[in-house]
A and B are shown apart, each in its own frame.
Chain A
């Protein structure tokens, strides 16, 4: 079946603009995770959902970052008033079951560049 997909794959924006990054998890997967991955580093947790409920947002860097998953499927990560330091690869992952011990499948990522 189809894997996790993300759009756009690349996003270039100017400082101060808002961006919305979309994640389409594997159909039927309960949990959805957002990570940020700097070049040469491991994925860094941002936030995650079980169904439509945001379970943990402790990894969001500040209040310019927010995420939603209103119908328990597609999720959007929004960054308001972008800054250059927000430039990174943003990846989402999904797992079939909730709980932190189920296999997470990663999407291809959105490469965000803030000029």
Chain B
């Protein structure tokens, strides 16, 4: 089955810096890669996703890149702000309809 590895587990940056979180997956059939942000005590919320027919997607300060050959994808947050502090989860899914497989999460701390 699918296995998703996520690094780093914790990340501390200064406000205004960039943050990068990386994930690798094992199942070449995976073709959907969402990223969720979970604030303390809240539910996971989708912030961006990418499908395997594109290599990069951007939404304001957030971008995701995908390298299907290497089976890895990354989340990039630019100009970080304190409100970006949260746990971020990557996940992998596929058209066959099995549920998402999540990484273990990255705790991002942005200090002002």
| Residue among B51, B99, B102 making CB contact with A42, cutoff 8 Å | B102
**Total contacts A-B at CB 8 Å:** 69
Q: Return the contact of B97 from the options A41, A44, A99, A108 (Cβ within 8 A).
A: A99
Alpha-carbon distance A26/B94, docked complex (angstroms): 22
B6: A residues at CB distance < 8 A = 42
Q: How far is the CA of A105 from the CA of B6 in the complex (A)?
A: 21
- CB <8 Å contact, B104 and A41: yes
Q: Determine whether A50 belongs to the interface, using a CB cutoff of 8 Å to chain B.
A: yes
Shortest Cβ distance from residue B49 to the other chain A in the assembled complex, whole angstroms: 7
Instruction: Say yes or no for B44: interface residue by CB 8 A criterion.
Output: yes
Provide the residues of chain B in CB contact with A33, threshold 8 Å: 99-100
- Residues of B68-112 whose CB lies within 8 A of A: 87, 89, 91, 93-105
**A residues whose Cβ falls under 8 Å from a Cβ of B:** 31, 33, 35, 40-45, 48, 50, 55-56, 59, 91, 98-101, 103-109
